[in-house]
Amino acid sequence: MKINSFRIALSLVAASAAAYSASAQTKLNGAGATFPAPLYQRWIAEFTKADPKIQINYQGVGSGTGITNFTQGIVNFAGSDAAMTDEQIAKVKQGVVLIPATAGSIVLAYNLPGVESLKLSREAYSGIFVGKITKWNDPIIAKANEGVKLPDTAITVCERSDGSGTTFVFTKHLSAISPDFKTQVGEGTTVTWPTGVAGKGNDGVTALIKQTPGAVGYVEYGYAKNNKLTFAQLENKSGAFVTATAASGAATLNSTQFPSEILRAWPSDPDAKDAYPISTFTWLLLYKKYDNKEVLDALKKFVTYGLTDGQKFADDLGYIPLPKEVAAKSEAALKSIE
């Protein structure tokens, strides 16, 4: 009887210790952009190995939904490739700090069996997405692809169905280079596309491209790389056809100037000859003030990790490490949070 009582007592102590351990764990919930989600998930996995008392959950639901959840106070932090507008920031009573966290390029991935290399001029890819160019052997596409046998296949344009920062960056670029696109479609996290089929998230568009011969769509470079999609060289402002790489993306981002203390800017049409034309920062959205000090301390630890040691995972996953000056500005902005 004494032995059983002792065992019961031990079980109660163990259960109590487990409950204490669970309650001692600080939980952070985030949601938003799918563009950086694979990198954020890697940060979470590596960070929690070193600090298992902090549990972090990030859901890639699209920048639009992330901003909505953040504004409503449903999450502790959010992700957005479109940052936030002044009007959106004004709706957040706790205040907002925008942290450039990583960067990447948007590629035009395509499914065209037999065509391993493709160049798309500014006129060609803006024409495709405005619905003006509908066949792969169109003379405007063929002009930049001498010697490439382009099929007489209909082009299926693949775009995002959800509110998307990737869409915002891509349409902002297209509006900068094409007056037709600017007047007929315009820029935004959601737009009314004149043609094509839509999928949710970068992963949804990736799936559409993979399963649709003749398809072309805009996805973050990392998704194209990890899913072994073929993507086009794009013509930049200087007339050079450039492949998306860490170096060509960095050439774009190094020219970016933040016009104010709010770290928000997009290089919509870079001038440099070696610059890839569609590269962008992506942002973590944090509150300026947190009521819970444990949450604040945990969040600062995690974001500091991402801005420092976490950057070493960027290149392998298809992202562009933050330029040192931008990383320093992000760390300074993080310190301002109370």
Task: Give the tens place of pLDDT for each residue, 308-320.
Answer: 999 999 999 999 9
139-to-125, 129, 228 alpha-carbon distances in Å: 13, 16, 28
**Vertex 325: Cα angle to 324 and 328 (nearest 5):** 85
Strands 77-80 and 26-32: parallel
At the top level of CATH, the class of 2-104+281-335 is alpha beta
- Residue 331 contacts by C-beta under 8 Å, 6 or more apart in sequence? 304, 307, 308
pLDDT on residue 177 = 97
Average pLDDT over residues 25-53: 96
- Can you give the pTM of this predicted structure? 0.85
Classify the phi-psi angles of 261: left when phi > 0, otherwise alpha if psi is within -120 to 50, otherwise beta: alpha
- Examine the pLDDT at 15 and tell me if it is beyond 60: no
Share of the chain above pLDDT 90, in %: 87
* Residue range 211-264, pLDDT digits in tens: 999 999 999 999 999 999 999 999 999 999 999 999 999 999 987 888 888 999
* CATH domain 105-253 topology: D-Maltodextrin-Binding Protein; domain 2 (3.40.190)
Distance CA 45, CA 52 (A): 10
Distance CA 125, CA 12 (A): 66
Buried residues in 90-109 as b, exposed as e (16+ CB within 10 A): eebeeebbbbbbbbbbbbbb
pLDDT averaged over the chain?
92
**pLDDT bracket for residue 174 (50, 70, 90):** very high
Range(s) within the chain of domains with CATH label 3.40.190.10: 2-104+281-335, 105-253
φ, ψ dihedrals at 335, nearest 5°:
-65, -20
Distance CA 319, CA 38 (A): 10
